[in-house]
Amino acid sequence: MRPSELLLGAVLSALPGCGGGHASQQDSAQEADKVAFPCELGTWTAADGFVPFGDDAKLELQMGFQGFLLVAVHARTAEPAFSVGEATMSMQIEGADTLNGQQPGVSFQDGVSEELLVFFTGNYLSYYEGRTANLAVRIEDATRSCLVQVAGTLVDEDPCIHTGADPICPGDTGS
């Protein structure tokens, strides 16, 4: 077994429904009945479209409108009929927290998801910046699922505050 597979197993053990016990065995049986499909993680912009993460991805820390921190990623699949699924995410951060979350009702258009948001606990941006992180994401519907992992570095290269469709950036004049 490769080290990345061991790490993925460790990260996924923190996901809800992946622990031990009877309920986990039922979840595993249901998961085994699902058809696996490939997916990948990356970023998406209107200008560039979907850009998959490469080795040592840069996971951009964003500041939300109320001061919370998050990382937003997108998933892409070649499954043309996949339109809505539930995302379960776990991010293991070097020397820090393991963050877990779920995002129901994730929409896909042309194989690319809406933003998948990983929210951080109440620490300063500087606490996380520069740390390595491993992000595992499972996306599933009633009959299919994909599981993908990306390793990267948490960075702050975007000076904007993200409030939705239009970020607020230094130098904005409001016009």
The pLDDT tens digits for 22-42 are: 444 545 555 568 999 999 999
| Residue with the larger pLDDT of the pair 20 and 56 | 56
Lowest mean per-residue pLDDT among 29-33, 69-73, 100-104, 123-127: 29-33
pLDDT score for 114: 95
For residues 91 and 171, which has the higher predicted lDDT (pLDDT)? 91
Entry pTM: 0.76
Determine the pLDDT at residue 11. Answer: 42
Architecture of the structural domain at 3-158: Sandwich (2.60)
DSSP assigned state of 160? P
**Strand, helix or coil for residue 3:** helix
With tokens 């964003």, the residue in question is 62
Number of alpha helices (DSSP H) and beta strands (DSSP E) in the chain: 3, 12
56, with CB counted inside 10 A (0-12, 13-18, 19+), is: exposed
Measured distance CA(151)–CA(89) in Å, rounded: 13
pLDDT above 70 covers a percentage of the chain that reads 77
pLDDT tens for residues 116-175?
999 988 778 888 999 999 999 999 999 999 999 999 999 988 777 766 667 777 877 665
Task: For residue 99, name the pLDDT band (cuts at 50, 70, 90).
Answer: very high
Higher pLDDT, 87 or 165: 87
